[in-house]
Amino acid sequence: MLFLKECRKILFSFPFVLYFIATAAMYFTQFDSDCDEPLQKPVEGMESYGMTVKEIPELVMNGAAESLVEEYLAGSYQTYPYGFLKNVRLKEKDRTRMAQIIEELTGITKEELEASEEYGEVKLSKEMTYENFKERMQEADRILGGGSRYSGNFLLQFSRVPKTYEDAMEEYEQFRQRDGITGAYARLYCDYLGIVLSILPVFPAVFLAGMDERTRMEPLVYCRKILPLKLVFTRYSALIAVLHLPVVFTAVLAHIRVLGLYPGAEVKPFAIFLYALLWLSPNILTAAAVGMLSTELFSGFAGILVQGVWWFFSVMAGTQGLTGMIGRFTLVMRHNNLLGSEIFEAEWETVLFNRVFFTVFSLAAVGVTAVVFEAKRRGRYHGFSFSHGGKNPRRQSEP
Amino acid sequence: MEDRIEIRNVNKFYGRKQALKNVNLTIERGMFGLLGRNGAGKTTLMKTLVTLHKKDSGSITVCGIPVESAKEIRAITGYLPQDFNMYPSMTVWESLDYLGVLSGMERKLKRERMEMLLKKVNLTEQSRKKVGALSGGMRRRLGIAQALLHDPKVLIVDEPTAGLDPEERIRFRNLLCETAQERIVILSTHIVGDIEATCEKIAVMNEGEILWQGTVERLLREAEGKVFTVQVENRELLRVKEQYVVTGMVAHGTSTTVRLVAEKMPGLGQAAEAEPNVEDAYIYCLSSHGCEVMGGEG
């Protein structure tokens, strides 16, 4: 009963209409435009089948060592700690340690290294194992403050090789068989929609959470006997249900679009819907929870700012790699590729951890929202307004 | 369950400012008026009674339930705040229905009471109208309907007639009196006329303190022999206003009939003792308690 009434409040609101339009726009301008042609089966004898990343230890180690020497000599290292390019210059102590790492990798001493501005071919020490190498790279990355080319998965970027016909065929078969076509499109669909669904839900959430205060309905709601947890969770559930409508709408469209591209092909009928539920729902849950909690805490439109900053950094972090860009705490997961299901599958545990983490985080945030709601209801907390020196002007108590 | 509100030694602070000072009141079934200027602490006291503010010390029980038991208190109190509105996009019916759900009302009972209350507040024809399209008076009447929806034992109305035209004000007062037959109704106001027309028992509040409490009749009795009318030349007016607490003036060309409150007959022109009305008695109450009263100003 209350759930339906709350749904209605959101459904006919201006922010929800905008949310729906913006989500649909993302679908049509990005995903739909990527579905103009079906993925072609590789033909033997083609000049190129593109490049692929393969973990070939020799390539990884040589490429990374060469890059490290180059950056050492340049005295500047490129890192992307929050998705933004940062040129790191090391202090003498760290510089010396970096030289030691290079020496451990290549046998080149600091003095030899600094004797000339350029160093020719870099050869790795014969004793250097791949495991030892990765440990040194971890340390180098730590010295650089994280986000360098020598961290985790980014090391693999040193090992890009041209695809063979067999590689291309194997990928294509994975696309047809393991992904059942729709599975691959589901990842692409979630990649695009995930960007907007990590920020847009905050608008209807802030609208709903601030509605009582804006319309001066608060005292009438506050003096009812409903429990805070029941009211806040019902409102949140209604919000989440309504916010999923454009997801259902675009998922159906995406499914139909993919069926149209591959007439008669055998596809996984629920792949897009399942991916949407697992991948996109936690994004919606999170943005909506942050919107509700921030509005309850700070009043006004602070929730949009809070979520906006988080979203911005998360999206920027994704610019390092659009394929398989999945971290344990990455809000906006990226996999902007129809192929590469093996990369995604290799990260499956991380994906699960990530999505469960954001779901639990959201529910906890809503729980805190209920606590803040009750504190405001009992006159123990009056909201914090940044623009009024911490005091909420609408809640100044009058004797 | 006893039909009584007991307020004992209640204090409330907003930072350093003390909004309620050792308030003691006993309120029984029927209409009770809380009279005081704007900023006297009436709203704070009302909000404390409906659990929207916490007191800093003292005790309050509403029909035997301590005010700390918020859920129970909310179930038996109805509140019409001074400054309120409802979702403008909802209709009158939808608004009441929504608030009824928040009160945990059973569906059939809710529907019956909504129909009954809309009829009572004369809003049946407006039930499908959006709240945003209602006049101020209609919105106030809808306010009283929502406060009575869950059939509370206590109804608390804060400045309900502010901004209403005389006809709406009379209609509203009558409505309050009708509802007071079966419950405690607390009317908090700075408009003396509202108290005079509806309440038998009242309390006068000033700067967070209860200055006086008792029946309206006693308040009037205490002002007997303290209210006078005096005819003065217009040029004398300023001096009269400086010397006395003036509660009314009627101009007649070059002279004015001044109604004033004083401990003894003023030694001015043609002075005569007058029968006090509630407004005179309220002003006398304030001035006799040492409050600064600017009766003749403005």
Of B48 and A49, the structure prediction assigns the larger pLDDT to: B48
CA A14 to chain centre: 27
Q: What is the largest CA-CA distance in chain B?
A: 69
Chain B interface mutation, best of A224, A373, A381, A392, highest count of B Cβ atoms under 10 Å: A224
Measured between beta carbons, the chain B residues lying within 8 angstroms of A229 are none
Measured between beta carbons, the chain A residues lying within 8 angstroms of B14 are 397, 399
Query: Apex CA B268: angle with CA B266 and CA B271, to 5°?
Result: 70
Residue B177 in tokens: 């009196």
CB A164 within 8 A of CB A49: yes
Residue A336 in tokens: 């902007």
pLDDT tens, residue by residue, A126-182: 888 999 999 999 999 999 998 888 987 678 888 888 989 998 999 899 999 989 999
Measured between beta carbons, the chain B residues lying within 8 angstroms of A221 are 99, 102
> Hey, how many other C-beta atoms are within 10 angstroms of the C-beta on A45?
6
Alpha-carbon gap: A291 to the closest alpha carbon of chain B (Å)? 20
Task: State residue A391's pLDDT score.
Answer: 60
The CA distance from A35 to A257, in Å, is 7
CA-based radius of gyration for chain A:
26
**What ranges do the domains of chain A cover?**
2-40+179-395, 51-162
Alpha-carbon gap: A380 to the closest alpha carbon of chain B (Å)? 7
Q: Do residue B79 and residue A220 have CB atoms under 8 angstroms apart?
A: yes
Q: Do residue B89 and residue A397 have CB atoms under 8 angstroms apart?
A: no
Q: Do residue A219 and residue B40 have CB atoms under 8 angstroms apart?
A: no
Q: Do residue B104 and residue A378 have CB atoms under 8 angstroms apart?
A: no
Task: State residue A399's pLDDT score.
Answer: 47
Task: State residue B202's pLDDT score.
Answer: 94
Confidence of residue A395 (pLDDT cuts 50, 70, 90): low
Q: What is the largest CA-CA distance in chain A?
A: 86
Q: Do residue B17 and residue A2 have CB atoms under 8 angstroms apart?
A: no
Task: State residue A65's pLDDT score.
Answer: 92
> Residue A69: which of A122, A116, A30 has the closest Cα?
A122
The CA distance from A221 to A5, in Å, is 14
Confidence of residue B217 (pLDDT cuts 50, 70, 90): very high
Confidence of residue B298 (pLDDT cuts 50, 70, 90): very low
Task: State residue A322's pLDDT score.
Answer: 56
Measured between beta carbons, the chain A residues lying within 8 angstroms of B99 are 220-221, 224
> Residue B10: which of B53, B74, B63 has the closest Cα?
B53
Q: Do residue A399 and residue B52 have CB atoms under 8 angstroms apart?
A: no
Confidence of residue A324 (pLDDT cuts 50, 70, 90): low
User: Mean pLDDT: which of A34-48, A288-302, B96-110, B162-176 is highest?
Assistant: B96-110
Helix, coil or strand: residue A210: coil
Alpha helices in A262-319 (DSSP H): 271-275, 281-298, 302-317
Task: State residue A122's pLDDT score.
Answer: 80
**What ranges do the domains of chain B cover?**
4-220, 223-288
Residue in the block written with tokens 């038998």: B200
Confidence of residue B296 (pLDDT cuts 50, 70, 90): very low
Helix, coil or strand: residue B260: strand
Measured between beta carbons, the chain A residues lying within 8 angstroms of B47 are 379, 397
CB A161 within 8 A of CB A56: yes
Task: State residue B297's pLDDT score.
Answer: 42
Does residue A393 surpass a pLDDT of 60? no
The CA distance from B283 to B224, in Å, is 13
| CATH class of the region B4-220 | alpha beta
Measured between beta carbons, the chain B residues lying within 8 angstroms of A397 are 14, 19, 44, 47, 53
For range B130-142, the mean pLDDT: 90
The CA distance from B76 to A63, in Å, is 76
The CA distance from A287 to A202, in Å, is 5
Q: Do residue B84 and residue A219 have CB atoms under 8 angstroms apart?
A: yes
Q: Do residue A12 and residue B74 have CB atoms under 8 angstroms apart?
A: no
pLDDT tens, residue by residue, B158-176: 988 877 788 888 888 888 8
For range B201-212, the mean pLDDT: 94
CB A204 within 8 A of CB A16: yes
Task: State residue B205's pLDDT score.
Answer: 94
Residue A358 in tokens: 């954001």
> Hey, how many other C-beta atoms are within 10 angstroms of the C-beta on A36?
7
Query: Apex CA B10: angle with CA B150 and CA B148, to 5°?
Result: 10
Tell whether B24 lies on the interface with A, counting CB pairs under 8 A.
Answer: no
CB A194 within 8 A of CB A285: no
Whole-number average pLDDT of chain B: 90
Task: State residue A397's pLDDT score.
Answer: 47
Residue in the block written with tokens 């002002």: B223
The CA distance from B163 to A79, in Å, is 65
